[in-house]
Amino acid sequence: MKAYALVEPGRMEWLDVAKPIIESDYSAILKPIVISPCSSDVHTIFEHGSVKPSNWVMGHECLGEVVEAGNLVKDFKPGDKVLVPSITPNWRDLGIQDGNFTHPSGPFSGMKFSISRPGIFAEYFYVEDADTSLVHMPEDVSLGAALMCVDVVTTGFTGVEAAEITFGDTVCVLGIGPIGLMAVAGAKLRGASEILAVGTRPACIDLAKEFGATQIISYKDGNIVGQVLEATRGKGVDASIIAGGNQDTFSQAIYMTCYGTGRISNLNYYVGDKDLVIPKTAWANGMAGKTIRGELCKGGRVRIERLFSMVQCGRISPEKLITHTYHGFEELETALHIMRDKPKELVKAMVII
């Protein structure tokens, strides 16, 4: 079968690779019907992110159609159209019983696509446990909205949950790409009062305002931390959510988050060799009372069904993130490169196969 794979760092190629087969009675083989390349694909492929074996099939965001299902799969059959969560843990991993859905048996063990198994940039892909992972897709739903639920919405909302946003919180979202925009929307739903959004790209700023940002902050207007402290009368925000930027952004978030009860929630994937630094002064010499959490998104069937129900009830409109739509499997190449090049009108690209 045809697949789009990372041959060596920085170089993707179309390869002919072996088609997956049913390995257990709970598993299923799917074909993607709509794909979105993700910023994390871009980090891994083009920016020296995590190291992969050569000829490794990338991709983890798609809607799919079931092609073949194992004998013990109860709820899905060939022909069913489904949302495919980017996180598909093995629900028999014992770490799950401790509530650890993302790293239950080791780092990133909850994420299969392009981590421990080939990704979804292929004509066919393998899902280990169909009944606990897949979500039925109704006929009349917007493809873009459904597609955004499998990773972007759940990741943005995971950041909001990790930041423990509650009524009246002031929040700063650093980075307003697709994930940051969903963090803005999630913070509003969770009852935040002021939502400061840090970003510069016009298409993202418009959506940030629409989704709930009360103030836009740009590095072009001066020091980010200074602007946030000024907006919060010197106190700092109750919570900051990092959804973009680099290692310096992490330190900035700690500076701008309030002493005593502040929460810093990181969703960013840092590339390069530079370490993350907790500034000693912003950490009050070790006694700041600030909490830092770094999260991979929550996945699995029930999680995505819950988020998808929010789309169906009109609580969120993630289809608005899709600014570029392509048709045909080969256009995946164009879509990936546009996600890398980030023209100013881009928020998120999808490819309808």
Shortest CB 255 distance to Zn ion, Å:
28
CA angle centred on 59, ends 158 and 79, rounded to 5°? 95
Q: Could you tell me where the beta strands, DSSP code E, fall in the chain?
A: 2-8, 11-16, 28-35, 56-57, 62-69, 81-84, 125-127, 135-136, 171-174, 195-198, 215-217, 239-242, 263-266, 291-294, 322-327, 348-352
Contact between 26 and 129 (Cβ < 8 Å): yes
User: Where along the sequence are the contacts to Zn ion (CB under 5 A)?
Assistant: 38, 40, 61, 151
C-beta of 151 vs 238, nearer to Zn ion:
151
Shortest CB 151 distance to Zn ion, Å:
4
C-beta of 263 vs 348, nearer to Zn ion:
348
Shortest CB 297 distance to Zn ion, Å:
8
Backbone angles phi, psi at 69, to 5 degrees: -130, 145
C-beta of 170 vs 268, nearer to Zn ion:
268
C-beta of 80 vs 151, nearer to Zn ion:
151
Radius of gyration of the chain (CA): 20
Shortest CB 307 distance to Zn ion, Å:
14
Shortest CB 315 distance to Zn ion, Å:
22
Residue with the two structure tokens 């952004």: 249
* 133-150 per-residue burial string, b: 16 or more CB within 10 A, e: under 16: bbbebeeebebbbbbbbb
Residue with the two structure tokens 């780092």: 107
C-beta of 40 vs 227, nearer to Zn ion:
40
Shortest CB 152 distance to Zn ion, Å:
7
Contact between 141 and 135 (Cβ < 8 Å): no
Residue with the two structure tokens 């256009």: 331
C-beta of 182 vs 256, nearer to Zn ion:
182
